[in-house]
Amino acid sequence: MLSKPSQTATPSARVIVARGPSSVRRASDADRIRPAVLAVRDATSELVVGEGEVSGTVRVAVPGALGRRRVAPMVFDVLARHERLRVDLLVSDVPVGLVAEGIDLAVRVGAPRDSSFVARKLGFSPQAFVAAPSWLAGRPDPLGPGLKLVLRIQEGLPQDPAQIGLRVDWTVSLASDDVETVARAVTAGLGVGMLPEWLIAEELASGALVRLAVPFEVPPAQIVALLPAGRKSPRRVRVVLDALIAGFGAGSSFPS
């Protein structure tokens, strides 16, 4: 059963979007005033809390597998140290409107494209071309004729291995926006995949997946934190950001 909202909660703004022809205009108005509303909220929180214990809510958006396996444990540690802090952790591979959703901090894989946010480097994620022994059986040249790929869809588009040096013809057996599904498909023998090493460390160690030698360098994926541009981050956001910087190693390749 849902509890009634507290009447003593920190003041916040409520935007009601009416149905009908004016709804698009009102939604647009809400997006325009949201930065100002958030700035007032942040200033109010800083005045109330002062230099004491960190409190308030931090809205964090993270991609699925990275969020569940890497970011969430870091957030748990922060919450254990700051009992008055709350984190709304949005874990999804579906892109969200960072400004429209009032996101304070987002973690992304790859170069950022949202100019309304500034990027802070967290680390790098080494990647490897891998395949299952069942796929490799009877294929002396696994990257030769008959190559099938399992690709990840990122921001609506599938990976393009040609951009990093793969120069043979291939077909695609499966494409998914969920990297864990891609890893499972590769492990099931559906083809070759380019996957983050931290995700498949156990499979590589057990022999369920085999790292393939490729005649080109496989670049690591960049991990970045995105913060709203033009707005000073409140202390509660900086506490979460500092934990992520420390957890990822700030610019280093994070371990598996």
Over residues 78-136, the pLDDT tens digits come to: 999 999 999 999 999 887 777 778 899 999 988 777 677 889 999 999 999 999 999 99
Please report which confidence band the pLDDT of residue 34 belongs to, taking 50, 70 and 90 as the band edges.
Answer: low
Q: Please tell me the least confidently modeled range out of 71-80, 187-196, 215-224.
A: 215-224
CA nearest to 105, candidates 10, 15, 224: 224
Pairwise CA distance, residues 67 & 90, whole Å: 9
Note the pLDDT of residue 73.
96
What pLDDT, on the 0 to 100 scale, is given for residue 207? Answer: 98
Residue range 199-221, pLDDT digits in tens: 999 999 999 999 999 988 898 99
CATH of 127-219, one of 3.40.30.10, 3.40.190.290, 3.40.50.2300, 3.40.50.720: 3.40.190.290
With both helix axes pointing from N to C terminus, report the angle between 23-49 and 235-248 in degrees, rounded to the nearest 10.
90
pLDDT confidence of residue 117 = 82
Hey, where are the domains in the chain? Answer: 23-124+222-248, 127-219
Tell me: the pLDDT tens digits for 4-21?
Answer: 444 444 443 333 333 444
Give the per-residue pLDDT at 51. Answer: 55
Percent composition of the chain: helix, strand, coil (DSSP 3-state, to 5): 30, 25, 45
- 168 vs 241, which has greater pLDDT? 241
pLDDT on residue 20: 44
Range in 83-87, 112-116, 144-148, 244-248 with the lowest mean pLDDT: 112-116
Asked whether the predicted pLDDT for residue 39 surpasses 70, the reply is no
Q: For the structural domain made of 23-124+222-248, what CATH number should be given?
A: 3.40.190.10
Which one, of 189, 229, 204, 244, lies nearest residue 66 by Cα?
244
The answer to whether 107 and 225 have CB atoms below 8 angstroms apart is: yes
Query: Helices (H), strands (E): how many in the chain?
Result: 7, 11
Same fold, 23-124+222-248 and 127-219: yes
Distance (Å, whole) CA 218 – CA 19 = 50
Question: What was the pLDDT predicted at 21?
Answer: 44
Residue 52 has pLDDT above 70, yes or no: no
- Strand 221-228 versus strand 171-176 pairing type: unpaired
Q: Tell me the C-alpha distance between 180 and 221, whole Å.
A: 16
